[in-house]
Each structure stands twice: as structure tokens, then as C-alpha cells.
Structure 1
Amino acid sequence: MEGGLTVTTRSWRAERLDRLGSSIFADVAEWMEAARANGQDVIDLSIGSPDLPPSEPIRRALSEAVLREDAYGYPGSKGTPAFLKQAADWLHHRFGITIDPCDEMVSLMGSQDGLGHLALALCNPGDIALVPDPGYPVYSAGLALAGIEPYYMPLRAENSFLPDFEAIPVDIWQKAKFMLLNYPSNPVSAVADEAFYTKAIAFAKRYNVLIVHDLAYSEMAFDGYRPLSIFQLEGAIDTAVEFHSLSKSFNMAGCRIGFLAGNKDAVSALRELKANIDYGVFLPVQQAGIVALQEDMKVGRQSVGALYERRRDVLLDALREEGWGVAKPKATMFIWAPLPPMNWELSEPWNSRRIAREMLNIAGVAVVPGDAFGAEGEGYVRIALVEDEQRLLEAARRIGRFMRGEHLV
């Protein structure tokens, strides 16, 4: 009581944050910090942050650009004409598609920037968005911030981790504003073929739904597989946009640069929103992005795919020898693995979060529990191929000892 008044504590935290849930990556970081404090040598296979630097020409371009006296003005939320043109040229080189850099593209501070803001730019109260489950957390987070309800499309092994469009009720289709697809996929590492995209486009046109295709892993494919852009399919430009990122394929995750391409009305909406909330990507970073795309057009990214293909084979072959057989994905930097066979029990049943916690605490190997990506992720863990081959072999050996319960002897 102060002067006869009851003083209550006021929360400064918005209730909408409750809809975001906890950031699993922040949670895993806390777990790792505690494990290291207990003396663990942690092998971090959790977050998909490349462990290698960008190429020397990319780093040189960035370093030279930051020394320019004219590099420190507002860059503009749309993106520089030079970066957008280079991105359009790269799309034509890589996929054989033609995108207008003036009207059909916008630069982004990484694709997550666009994914987090897209619903704010596109949706109205009462709209629904179709999102994958499991799916990358920002898909749902962006909807939560915009106050838009998600309709979760289950991705299951029996359907090759592809959504079943026929199973979505007609009334949901009629309320949906956009449908988010992600192939090659994070976290499930699935891929999609031309027939799938053809069907997706047909459903989108039938119900006037925008397709939002997250193609962040287009350059990280194995065994001769070449991921598609949705714009390689006839009619896609009328009903789709596509996110591209330089984070993973070019080892530029910390630079925060990517772009959205596609339907000009949808791109314009995101441009308009971003013009009100930020001033775009730092000019030297855009210059580094130009060099990255030019370099790729000259020498290709086979080395990136080959690197992660070797890591995939090293880890999964070693895990199989330890008794944990996991199918080899055709793309991405992730392994989507069913829970390992355990030769010992806890007082409570194993689940994805318990496996991840115990694997870290006992074996010193950090992975992400599958339920962090949605209810359909229970029963899986996601493993990122972000350590060198020797550390991956060591991780497999530690996991094998963990599965056998050798620490109990």
C-alpha cells in the first residue's frame, strides 16, 4: 500500500509473445552452457550455422567495401539495383528462369527477415495460412506476430514428408491466404519433384492461395539431385513467391542477406512493409553478396554439396555401425533422424526432448529435439552437419556409447 493505493506489478511483456513459444535454439544454447560448465567437451550439431568462412574473394569484397567513405548511408529497403540485378542473373543462370529485378524482387536481411514479416504484409484478420508440421519455427512465429491462425499440414514419413493437399478441408482452403512450402526441407531434409509442384500450383490457383516457397537449401544437394525453383513450373509466377538465402550455401549466415522473388503484388506488399520498418541491408554486405553470386556463376557450388555429402556419409555410416540406422537425405545440411534404439531405460519414457537432453549431458553431443519444430516432430531429432569429419566420427562413437548405456557400467 502506498498512500492508501494498492500497487500492483505491471508486466511489460506482450501477451502475443506467449504464442511464439520458447526459442529452441536459445534453450539448447543454455543446455550446452550448463554442460560445458560441468566439464563436457560439447560437439555442437544443433543450430545450422556453417562452420566454414565465405570464400576469400567474398571476404575481400566485404573488407574493401567497408573502407569506402560512401558505404555508410541508408542502403534503401528495396535493395540496390546492382544486387537485385545480380540476383536475377543468378536465378536465370541456376534455374533458367527470368525474374524482373525492378518489380519482382526485394532484398532481405536473410530469408528469416522476410518469413517473419510476410504475414504482416499479406494477411488480414480472419485469414489462415497453411504451414508445414514439422516446420522451421519462424513460419509459425511470423503468423503469431501478425495475429494469423496457422493450419498445420502434417509431414509424415509415409508420404515422403510431403503435405497431402487433398486432406485439407475445402473451408480451410477458402480461408487460406498463403501456403508455405520448403523443399529441400528444414528440418526433415525431404525433397520434392516437378509433379509435386505442379499439384501445388493447381491447388493454389483453384483456391486463390499464394504459394510461399522457402528455397534456402537449393545449393546443398547430393547424389546428383538438383533442387527445383517453383518458377521452373508453368504458371507459378501468377501464384508464388520464393525465398533465397546466401547464409548456408555461401557460408554467409552472419552477414544476413537474402532475397524474395516472384509475384509482383506479393513482393510489393513486403517491400511496402519493410520501407516502414527498416532501411535495408548494409551496402558492403550487398556488395559481398554480388561477388558471391558472380563467383557461383563462374565456378559453381559443387564444392558445397560435396562437402555436406561427405559429412552426411561419414556420420550416417558411423552411426549405422553403432546400431543407429538412418536413411541418407538427398539435400540440406541436416539429418532428420528417428529416435535411436536405446539399450537402457529412464524412469519416464524416452521422447525427443529427453533424448536430446540426455545425449548432451551424457555424451556431450548437442542435437535439436524434433518436437521443437511441431507436434509431428515428436519421435525425431535434427542433427546439423556443422563439424568436420573427425568430430562427426567422434560424435557417432559417443552416441553409440550413450545408446548402449556404457556410462552406467
Structure 2
Amino acid sequence: MTTKQQRLIPLVFLIIILGSLVGGLVWHEQNTDHSGWQEKDGIRYYQDFHGDPVSGWMDLPDGRYYFQADGTPSHGWQTIDGTTYYFDSDGIMLTGWQTIDGDTCYFGGNGAMVTGWLWLSEGRYYLKDGALLTGWQELDGKRCYFGADGLAADGFTQIGGDNYFFVDGYLATGLTEIDGQLWYFGQDGKQYSGWLEEEGGRRYFSSQGPMLTGWQDMEDGKRLFDDSGYMKTGWYEEGEYRYYFKEDGLMAVSPTKIDGRTHYFSPKGMEVILVNGLNPLPEDFALDEWKIDDTHTVDKRCYPALRQMLDDCKAAGITYEINSGYRTHYTQTAILEYRTREYMKTYDLDFRAARDKALETVAVPGTSEHELGLAVDLLGDEADAWFAQHCWEYGFILRYTADKESITGITDEPWHFRYVGK
């Protein structure tokens, strides 16, 4: 080995050692984490593991960021891939309710700004161009109302002392069904009460709001409304009873002239066909005969009440006798003729005097309540007393009493009971 070669050996070793040191330094540099915030010339940016500026979305421990190409975080309003976001002064993406430049905004969990309807657990809101609406607003051609907190009115809502109703956030107007009942709201949305004139008739809405149906006791009297809420006028039949409602809808409860003829009604409104010397049996009267026993009949309208009264009298241990029920015109005529002849013979009276005496207890044919089928003669001293005390419970009255003889023209008949309805 020459001297020159001997001198080169240390140099080679030195080069090898230096190369190893440099390689180690490079390896160490390449495997060291350089990620994190950096600042240069007063500008913050974020770099990755290798120390290069990051860009795009990144989740960090304190929140979510969107970095520009130079690694700087986005601030303020940003539109990214067509979606609007907002980043605070630190670059953190905002979510939930936020107040920005005086407007209240809402950002979803993904940071996207919400516009239009927003449904949360407490109710619904509306954000126009991202800003929360309050007060009266018109949306989709319909009116809405939002409270000071932006919550949309829904259901019954009182605003400025007036009642309104909202369906899915929109103001209801006109006829509106609520829980199976009809309410009416004006074109301004205010709840309406009182009379409503329509082509189909008149309806009435109570001060509480719902439209009235069925029988109603009102301040000025009783009225009837059908299932559609329209006020009834004219004749109306329900069960065995007949009622009459005048033009203003009030139920007749006293003598009322209808088509030129006076009709009579009880205080409860049931028509009472008054039959006496001044009021003959109506030509259009129709009878539905019903047997009380093998001998006597009555009008079906009074049979259930009469049957109950007779059964209760019997249950009280009192014996009675049915002397008379419904009479045909022929039978009434025969009774009057028989009584007239009887008085002529018994009291030696001429026909005129005997007939006048007979008329004290027998009605002229066509003017007897028995021809209605709504009157019965019940005999028995105890029975008469019991019936007189209890007949009203079954819709009957003791028709002819001594103190009313000057009015009825009929002598005292403690056995004669007339059905007028319960």
C-alpha cells in the first residue's frame, strides 16, 4: 500500500461518518410531526405533519375549520360547494343559534345555514335568507305569525287581545274544523262569534267559538240547529212531539198564528192541540192508534207515558179502571145523543134543554179531547187522587177542574187526564 493510499483511508471513513450523520438528520426531520398552528408575518395558518399548509375541511379539538389553500382559516360568511357557512374570528365553524350583524341565524350540526322552515323540538321557525322572522309575515301567499323569539304560532293564539288559529303555522280563515267542531275566522283571521248569514241559512258561533248544533238555550229563547249548524225554522217533529220555529228561529212556546190559524204550544215548545168548543179538531189531524187493553186505545204518542203511569199506579197498590180512551167521531156523537135522550127522560126536559144539560159534560163531536186519542178517563177514588198527584211526572194534566169551569166550559171531571208531553 502506498503512502498516498494510506492517506486516503481516513478521508473515506470521515466521508462515511458524515454521510451517516446527514442521513440521520434527514430521517429525523422527515419523521417529526410538524402539524399545528404557525404564525408568519402576523398571519396564522395551520400546517400538516410534514409542515405543509393544510387546505379544506379539518376537525380540530376546539372545532371545525375550513382552510384556504395557503393554510389560513376561513372567517365570516363563506359559501362552500353551494352551501353557506359562518366562521368566527378564530375560524371555528358556527352551529346552532347565532346572532350575526343583528340578525338571528341558525346553523345545522354540519354548519350549513338554514333557510326556510326550521323544525325543532319546541316548534317551528322560519328563516328568510338565513335571518329569523318575527311578527306578522306572509309566506307562500298565506299569513303567519312569529313571536319575539321567532317561534311560529300554532293552534289557538291570542294576539293583541284577539283570538286566532294557525294550522301548520299558517293563519286559518273562514270555516275551520277543530277537534270535530266548526269554527269561523274572518278574512283577517280573527275568531268570529255571533250570527253568520250564508246562502244555506243562518249559523251561530258561540262566544267560546264553536258553531252551535242541536238544541240551544239562548238569551232570547230556545232554538234548534241542524248538524251543519243551520238554524231551523218552520215545523219540526222529534219523536211524538211537534215544534214550530219562527222566522227568527225562536221556538214557539205560546199561542202562535201559523198560516192564518192559531196553534198552541207548551212552555217547553211541544205543540198542544187545543180542542174545545172554540177550537174543533184540525182537519189534518192524524192518529196512530195503540191498544191500552182489549177495549181501549190511545194515540201512540202518549202510550209509553200512559203505560208507565198505569203500571206505577198499580205498583203502588192502587186499583183503577179505564173508562174511556180514544173515541171516533161516530162514538162521540152517539154518546151525546144518548146523554140527551137520558136527560129528556130522567128530568122530563125538552130536546133543547136536555141537549144543553148534556153539553155540560159531553163535548160536541169534533171538539172532544178523546177524539185526539191523547185523553183518558181513569176511575177510582184512590186512583183519581194518585193520578192527580203524579200525572205531571208522565206528561199528563188533570184537564177539567172546578176552579177552571168558567174557562173550559166543562164541569169538574177528576177522572179526565190529558197528555201534553213531558
Q: Give TM-score scaled by structure 2 length.
A: 0.17
Larger radius of gyration between Structure 1 and Structure 2 = 2
Q: Give TM-score scaled by structure 1 length.
A: 0.17
Q: Which has the higher contact order (CA 8 A, sep 6+)?
A: 1
Q: Which has the higher helix share?
A: 1
Q: Which has the higher strand share?
A: 2
